[in-house]
Amino acid sequence: MAEATPRTPLATDLADRVTEFARSCKGAARTFSMYPDGHPAVSGAVTRLVGAIGKATESGSLTLTVLNDRLLVNAAEPQKPDPAIGELAALLYSHLIGELVIETPGDPDSWQVLLRLLGRPPEEVREGGGIAALFTGTSIGIAELDYADILKERQGGTAASLESLMASLLGGGGGEGSGDGPGDEALESLLKTADDAPQLRKFARLLNSSGGGGSAAPAPAEQADTVLKLLRAVAKHFEGKPREEVQEQLQNMTPMVGELSAEAMTELLGQWEAGGAVEGGVNLVEATAGQMGDDDVARFVAGSVQAEGGSTDRLAEAFQALVPEGDRRKQVLAMAEEHAADSDIGQSESFPDLWNNVEHMLTSYSDEPFVSTDYARELSAARRQAVEVDQTSDDPPERIEAWMGSVADGELQEMDFQLLVDLLSLEPDGDRWRDIANVVTG
């Protein structure tokens, strides 16, 4: 695949203004997800956002191209992007927004509509018709991504490499591929290789390792979302066909699903339980992960043990969900041991002991005594929110500096001193008062 063309660097002053807009927008979206319309926090968030947009558009309109982890501003990229820009890009991308065009600060009502949509779960917005269909504002231009187009055959027979398909899904660009026609490293389209298990497994391994662009691997939740986007696009591609045909096409994707990490598989299975993976009346996860054969599950287990150096709670959860029958589990684990024995980890002298531990954990693990079914479902959803809150950095540097200063050594000493002074004013016992006074004056 050809190297990506270097991006034009964004002017420093404009980069600073866009950074402030990103912080304000991300913070406002979080505020809208927490408070109802009319709350003072909502109006304050919109006021700050419109002010930031006014500064960002002083030199003219902005066209924000949304990639999965960054924004291009009028086709240019900040040289040292603030984390807030990446976080806003991820938020917009999760709602399938490919481009935002901002001519002027616009009216607050338009931004309120957009922010309210961004504050809702992406799956809920998509089920309502998509963000472009639901957005009724007039001062903001939105271009929505259509992942079904990725699966259409390229005119002229140009091949799409695994890397470019991945880049398209994750927003990294990547073009059409080498143009040498389909080969071991290429796909004409995902549908044409749906029965090519090695290619599908390679695609998933690419997703696990680097996201197709040499960058850090996507988080497990994003891996699961990316697979769901593909499955949803397959279902849409065969819309109107008999249900059995759609399910058959989806079942062809099981080798790809089986290569996911244990964490990503758990996220995917959580969508099955929560009912958030339905397209055209077909549960996408049930039609793929739910139809995995014994060998597919065995490969999944062996791959996870190889990657993690042993078993994990997430692998145990996923394995027991994929193989609910107790008598079948031993058979699948025996097959998984054979696959693992052929890998690097199987060459270790300690492999027999390691595998005994794996078998014990995968057959006996249970969190039911501690976690109810309803709570486990809520806990699975909360994992995503916790990561999002932990990674949020839309507070400006001066505010963070002020917070850090409030717990500096000098500030803490002042608080200690004030506490002792307060005790002096409250202590009625003369002897105790004298002891405290000695500490204060000493």
Q: Tens of pLDDT along 246-259?
A: 888 788 778 778 88
Return the higher-pLDDT residue of 77 and 177.
Answer: 77
Mean pLDDT to the nearest integer, 195-222: 59
Give the mean pLDDT of 117-128: 80
Contact 61, 150 (CB under 8 A): no
Question: Between β-strands 140-144 and 71-73, what pairing exists: parallel, antiparallel or unpaired?
Answer: unpaired
Amino acid at 253: M
Average pLDDT of the segment spanning 345-366: 86
Does residue 406 surpass a pLDDT of 60?
A: yes
Q: What is the pLDDT of residues 266-304, one digit of tens each?
A: 888 887 766 667 887 888 888 888 888 898 899 899 988
36 vs 355, more confident? 355
Portion of the chain with pLDDT greater than 70, in percent: 72
Reported as a single tens digit per residue, the pLDDT across 146-200 is 544 444 433 333 334 444 555 555 444 333 333 332 233 333 445 555 555 665 6
Q: Across all residues in the chain, what is the average pLDDT? A: 75
Q: Per mean pLDDT, which range of 36-50, 120-134, 276-290, 338-352 is the poorest?
A: 120-134
User: How much is the pLDDT for 393?
Assistant: 56
| Average pLDDT, integer, range 316-326 | 88
| Contact call for residues 6 and 76 (beta carbons, < 8 A) | no
For 86-99, what is each residue's pLDDT tens digit? 888 888 888 888 88
Confidence at 365, pLDDT banded by 50, 70, 90: low
pTM: 0.46
pLDDT at 19 over 70: yes
What integer pLDDT is reported at residue 28 of this predicted model?
87
- For a pLDDT cut of 90, what percent of the chain falls above it? 5
Q: Which residue has the higher pLDDT, 154 or 309?
A: 309
In the predicted model, what is the mean pLDDT of residues 60-84?
Answer: 82
pLDDT at 1 over 60: no
Q: Which of 15-29, 77-91, 128-142, 304-318 has the lowest mean pLDDT?
A: 128-142
Backbone angles phi, psi at 161, to 5 degrees: -70, 160
Quick check: 405 pLDDT over 50? yes
Pairing of strands 282-283, 160-161: unpaired
